Chains A and B, each alone.
Chain A
Amino acid sequence: DQQVKQNSPSLSVQEGRISILNCDYTNSMFDYFLWYKKYPAEGPTFLISISSIKDKNEDGRFTVFLNKSAKHLSLHIVPSQPGDSAVYFCAAASDGGTSYGKLTFGQGTILTVHP
């Protein structure tokens, strides 16, 4: 049962344009969401996160939007740069119960930014 889904396996964008990566979740207990970036042969690196009490969080070129009613979040990268080419994972967590601290990951989306 895939509780966090990234339905687009890949995305190709021109340099300077906006990249929009999408993520859907099914577990209503999730209340904290994160985006990670992963290069080949490296571990994921943390990009940006958002708590369920917010609907938007911005950090430089990266903005994450959360739509709780739709159980959907998205990562916007503006402007996209070739160095952004990587696999992007969304992850979800809940702050309570037995899942304390546990991250559930999506399958990842391969982003390619063309010069």
Chain B
Amino acid sequence: GAVVSQHPSWVICKSGTSVKIECRSLDFQATTMFWYRQFPKQSLMLMATSNEGSKATYEQGVEKDKFLINHASLTLSTLTVTSAHPEDSSFYICSASRGATDTQYFGPGTRLTVL
């Protein structure tokens, strides 16, 4: 199979703090990982694409200094929401693929609530 995990599954934090979300491919090597966010009743919006060992490519309108992405190994990518604010509250989902155009396998998502 192709299993992707995320940790934590949910997190509540105070405004101004930073939160790190991990995305792991458990049984395959993920050359490419994608980070999405989903607001209630809306579609998944791609935030950034990361390739192992290189800098992430951010979508237009996504602040790279606020959403720090690190893809240091073929099985792990992290998303850090820095100085979180209530408007950052959302459902963050990662996906992983063996190559940029291969099938994307999604993690279960992380629910972030910023108070």
Contacts and interface: CB of A to CB of B under 8 A. Distances in A.
Nearest to A106: B43
A59 interface: no
Interface string A43-79: 1111000000000000000000000000000000000
Contacts, number: 53
A107 B44 CA distance: 7
Contacts of B97: 101
Bin chain A's interface residue count: 20 to 34
A44 B41 contact: no
A107 B106 contact: no
A43 B43 contact: no
Interface of B: 4, 6, 9, 32, 34, 36, 41-46, 49, 93, 95, 97, 99-101, 103-109
Interface of A: 2, 4, 9, 36, 41-46, 89, 93, 95, 100-108
| 4 residue pairs, one from A and one from B, having the closest CB atoms | A43-B106, A101-B100, A105-B43, A105-B44
